[in-house]
Structure 1
Amino acid sequence: MSAPDTNLDRQKKQHKPSLWGIGAAGVFGVALLLVIVMVSVGANEKVAEDGAPSDTAPSAVGVEE
């Protein structure tokens, strides 16, 4: 069985807001994912007392240097 009325121009016009919404949600999701990754990578960086990033790794718990 086929659809009784296939006016493609009218269907494009009716579906345009929905497609824009889906596209906007996709862009928002990708942007949110990038922000989460950037924050989690930046949170792992150790900062020295003077505010400069430190290249030293933290020592193990209970081990004296």
Structure 2
Amino acid sequence: MKIFPESPEGQIIDVPDGATYEDLLKILDINQELVILLNNGQAVPIDGTVDAGTITILRAISGG
């Protein structure tokens, strides 16, 4: 799978079979409270099983 955590070129990583998106964020040392995950452009639940594809990690930004 290809991961795009910050840069447009992304990185390719392997995750164990059955890993969740929460597991993926732990591997990448990213706080799950601060991001939105997309797999092939579709939002995915944090407890969903990681599927092959292009994962985009967007920082959730708020302000006021």
Which structure has the bigger radius of gyration? 1
Q: TM-score scaled to structure 2, two decimals? A: 0.19
Higher helix share: 1
Higher strand share: 2
Q: TM-score scaled to structure 1, two decimals? A: 0.18
